[in-house]
Amino acid sequence: MKIFHISNARNYSGGVAQMIFLSNGLAAKGYDTAVICQPESELAKRAGVKKIFLDMNSQIPASFALAKIISQENPDIVHCHHPKAHNIVLLASFFTKIRNIVASRRVSFPIPKHPAAFFKYRTTRNKCIVAVSEKIKSVLLAAGLKPSNIRVIYSGTDCSVFNPSVSGRGVREEFKIPGNALVIGKIANYSKWKGYNYFLDACRIISIKQSNIYFFIAGAGTDSAELKEEVNRLGIERFTKIAGFRDDMPDVIAAMDISVNASISGEGISGAIRESLAMEKPVVATDVGGNSELIKSRINGILVEHSDSSALADAILNLIKNHDDAIRMGRSGRETVLEKFSVDTMVSEHIKLYEELKNV
């Protein structure tokens, strides 16, 4: 079976990571797999399978070029991993036959009601939409998709890379954080829906009540002037370390004592929380998107209402004060990830889907 994966993404992200895990995993199992990506993108640098370069800056020219590639290569499956790539594949399907179009949906925002979005998700040209959480499935159903056209497949975590034996000492030394200090961390790209304003306000509350504590922020755009200004406005700049984009995420998580997700909407299932649980870190997450499918409150983490700085701070302080409970939740978290959210499980579920589609 020949499987093409396509993404227009230039930078590294959780979706890009999943595409790499999946394509590499398929190739390791003997599937003829290729990645269609932008030249000089992070995918071009990181993917371990055959790469086909396609300029996707302009969708219509890209669709013509893609149609030519597909007519020559004749793949059994074309799997779209980002929205713009999905547009390009659907356009290309008007110029050449594409046997099976699969698209992943990784955010739980409602589907827009304009005609283009209606066509994009409800067209029969899509053989399946892969939702990374049951919450996203419910959003797709509300938009009018048939249950038979949706498959829930959870994103995967590489538990051999994200494991409790990784040391965070180097990251602490880099940012001059004492070894005996408590570190509360948030990993997410900087955008409004990631809830940074609520996280930082919770940090302000915690800094008043807890000594010897630091707050660590990592993710694309977190080193922006806007976020730094907010840290200064809240008066927590002495305790806050801003890392920006990092390539050493296992080391970053290892440097933390508690990992936090403060999103206010849009989450599929937080990748940073998945990875933190794999490393046995206690977590606090907002109950948005599919986070409740990963976190069972007080069993492998704590869920709180979104947009509530006080609730976020109280949950973090609770974990600090109840160290034994925090350790127990962290261990339970790794068991959850190993059971339901591993890369192997994710790859296997996609293979089942692809085989079903090929044999229809």
Q: How is the beta sheet containing 240-242 ordered, strand by strand?
A: 240-242, 213-218, 182-187, 258-261, 283-286, 302-304
The torsion angles phi and psi of 344, rounded to 5 degrees, stand at -60, -45
**Position with higher pLDDT, 32 vs 360:** 32
The owner of tokens 């996203």 is 136
Please state the rounded mean pLDDT for residues 227-248.
97
Q: How many other C-beta atoms lie within 10 A of the C-beta of residue 98?
A: 23
> Which amino acid, residue 154?
Y
Per the CB < 8 A criterion, the answer to whether 332 and 298 are in contact is: no
What would the two tokens of residue 71 be? 């007519």
Please state the rounded mean pLDDT for residues 146-153.
97
**204 confidence band (pLDDT: 50, 70, 90):** very high
Question: In the chain, which segments carry CATH 3.40.50.2000?
Answer: 2-156+342-358, 169-340
Question: Would you say residue 225 has pLDDT above 90?
Answer: yes
Report the distance separating Cα 289 and Cα 268, nearest Å: 5
What would the two tokens of residue 224 be? 């922006």
Q: How far is CA 149 from CA 1, 26, 123, 241, in A?
A: 21, 22, 10, 44
**What does the pLDDT read at residue 37?**
98
**What does the pLDDT read at residue 53?**
98
Please state the rounded mean pLDDT for residues 31-43.
97
SS3 297: strand
Is domain 2-156+342-358 given the CATH code 3.40.50.150 in the classification? no
What would the two tokens of residue 13 be? 């992200």
> Which amino acid, residue 333?
G
Per the CB < 8 A criterion, the answer to whether 195 and 285 are in contact is: no
DSSP 3-state percent helix, strand, coil across the chain (nearest 5): 45, 20, 35
Q: Looking at the DSSP assignment, which residues form a beta bridge with residue 241? A: 216
Strands 240-242 and 150-152: unpaired
Q: What is the dihedral of CA 290, 293, 296, 300, to 10 degrees?
A: -90
The torsion angles phi and psi of 132, rounded to 5 degrees, stand at -90, 5
Q: What is the mean pLDDT of the chain?
A: 97
Which residues have CB under 8 Å from 203's CB, separation 6+? Answer: 184, 215, 234, 236, 239, 240, 313
- In eight-state DSSP terms, residue 99 is S
Which residues have CB under 8 Å from 113's CB, separation 6+? Answer: none
SS3 254: helix
Q: Looking at the DSSP assignment, which residues form a beta bridge with residue 104? A: 130
Task: Classify 169-340 by CATH class.
Answer: alpha beta
**What does the pLDDT read at residue 118?**
85
Please state the rounded mean pLDDT for residues 262-276.
95
**What does the pLDDT read at residue 360?**
83
